[in-house]
């Protein structure tokens, strides 16, 4: 704009002075004026170009609006995404909206099983424990960058279904950079409309047994020398469940409290994101809870299946080496119900 005003001023100066000059000079001046006029015209021509770009944007928006027609409530609209992956074309599903989610959980809380359930749905891609790799959570910028790739549907794992995903996400353990960087992550979730699925265990003593047994298995490898965190047969489950961990009761109360507090803190941090809180025990016992999950992700309803088999199914007194001591420690505390519940 400034440039244009400046040129116009110069222009009127030339026109005023033309009369005073001899004819040869007049020609030169005219030529200069003509150049100026041409220049102004070219400056003005840039605008239509910009308008053309804008109308292209408008067109895209119109396409998106026509994409969003079916069965969508007003509040949902910001949660609908139309990723354009760098590496392939979403083709016939380009108009299917995609919801973003993360499963915030802890080790040995049923998230492996839960993810296989979700992934048995043809329209869900839950990409596993992507922040198990330290490099991806080294700092906040690598965390955000990694999430960008996942939510752009450019992440490839055994679970990614790409073109026709209606919900894409992954699971994230609370101790994988999530609590340290919660501020920026919450900000990202709010900005990009990522829904949060909390998955915890109610019985933290059972969880502890599972943690200790899994960590024992890493070295002992009773299944033909391979370490398995999850199994697909009752035979394998039975072999793994034979190991009965010994629990240090000096630290038991403190550790249970710490686990409980960490979960509560996470819910508090992410309270303002759209979220649902699930407990493994409820999912196992109550099939309606799985419907709640599909409703939460606004998925077309499907039966979901997992091949995973629960490892520790016996009562806890059969699964803890120093049961008497553990029982004595927890009796009369807020955690005594853990002793006999599933």
Using CB under 6 A as the criterion, which residues of the chain lie in contact with ligand NAG when the complex forms? 60, 63-64, 82, 84, 93-94, 96, 122-123, 135, 138-139, 141-142, 164, 166, 224, 248, 250-251, 267-268, 271, 286, 288-289, 292, 300
Give 43 or 251: the residue with its C-beta nearer to ligand NAG.
251
Question: Which residue in the block uniquely carries the two structure tokens 């979700």?
Answer: 118
Shortest separation between residue 227's beta carbon and ligand NAG, angstroms:
13
Give 3 or 190: the residue with its C-beta nearer to ligand NAG.
190
Provide long-range contacts, Cβ within 8 A and 24+ apart, for 153-159.
153/83, 153/85, 153/90, 153/98, 153/125, 154/85, 154/86, 154/87, 155/127, 155/130, 157/125, 157/127, 157/128, 157/130, 158/128, 159/115, 159/119, 159/125, 159/126, 159/127, 159/128
* Closest-CA residue to 316 (of 325, 308, 307): 325
Give 33 or 157: the residue with its C-beta nearer to ligand NAG.
157
Shortest separation between residue 123's beta carbon and ligand NAG, angstroms:
4
Looking at residue 177, what DSSP letter applies?
I
Is the CB of residue 256 less than 8 Å from the CB of residue 176?
no
Shortest separation between residue 159's beta carbon and ligand NAG, angstroms:
14
Shortest separation between residue 142's beta carbon and ligand NAG, angstroms:
4
Give 12 or 288: the residue with its C-beta nearer to ligand NAG.
288
Shortest separation between residue 139's beta carbon and ligand NAG, angstroms:
4
Give 231 or 316: the residue with its C-beta nearer to ligand NAG.
231
Instruction: Tell me whether strands 124-126 and 275-279 are parallel, antiparallel or unpaired.
Output: unpaired
Distance CA 284, CA 287 (A): 7
Residue nearest to ligand NAG (CB): 164
Give 7 or 277: the residue with its C-beta nearer to ligand NAG.
277
> Given phi > 0 = left and psi -120 to 50 = alpha, else beta, which region is 122?
alpha
DSSP 11-35: HHHHHHHHTTS-HHHHHHHHHHHHH
Give 42 or 224: the residue with its C-beta nearer to ligand NAG.
224
Shortest separation between residue 292's beta carbon and ligand NAG, angstroms:
5
Shortest separation between residue 28's beta carbon and ligand NAG, angstroms:
52
């Amino acid at each position: 704009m400034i440039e244009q005003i400046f040129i116009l001023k110069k222009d009127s100066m030339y026109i005023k002075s033309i009369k005073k000059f001899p004819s040869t000079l007049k020609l030169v001046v005219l030529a200069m004026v003509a150049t100026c006029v041409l220049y102004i015209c070219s400056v003005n021509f840039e605008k239509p170009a910009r308008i053309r770009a804008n109308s292209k944007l408008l067109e895209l928006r119109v396409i998106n609006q026509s994409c969003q027609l079916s069965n969508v409530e007003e509040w949902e609209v910001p949660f609908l995404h139309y990723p354009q992956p760098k590496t392939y074309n979403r083709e016939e599903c380009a108009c299917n909206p995609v919801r973003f989610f993360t499963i915030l959980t802890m080790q040995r809380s049923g998230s492996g099983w839960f993810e296989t359930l979700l992934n048995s749905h043809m329209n869900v891609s839950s990409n596993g424990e992507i922040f198990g790799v330290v490099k991806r959570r080294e700092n906040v910028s690598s965390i955000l960058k990694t999430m960008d790739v996942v939510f752009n549907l450019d992440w490839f794992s055994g679970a990614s279904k790409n073109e026709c995903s209606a919900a894409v996400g992954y699971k994230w353990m609370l101790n994988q950079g999530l609590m340290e960087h919660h501020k920026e992550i919450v900000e990202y979730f709010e900005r990009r409309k990522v829904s949060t699925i909390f998955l915890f265990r109610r019985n933290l003593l059972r969880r502890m047994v599972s943690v200790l047994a899994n960590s024992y298995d890493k070295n002992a490898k009773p299944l033909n020398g391979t370490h398995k965190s999850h199994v697909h047969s009752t035979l394998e489950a039975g072999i793994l469940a034979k190991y009965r961990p010994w629990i240090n009761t000096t630290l038991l109360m403190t550790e249970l409290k710490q686990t409980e507090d960490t979960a509560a803190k996470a819910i508090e941090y992410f309270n303002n994101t759209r979220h649902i809180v699930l407990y493994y025990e409820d999912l196992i016992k109550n099939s309606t809870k799985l419907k709640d999950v599909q409703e939460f992700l606004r998925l077309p309803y499907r039966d979901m299946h997992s091949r995973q088999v629960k490892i520790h199914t016996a009562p806890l007194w059969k699964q803890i080496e120093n049961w008497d001591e553990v029982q004595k420690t927890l009796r009369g505390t807020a955690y005594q119900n853990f002793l006999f519940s599933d």
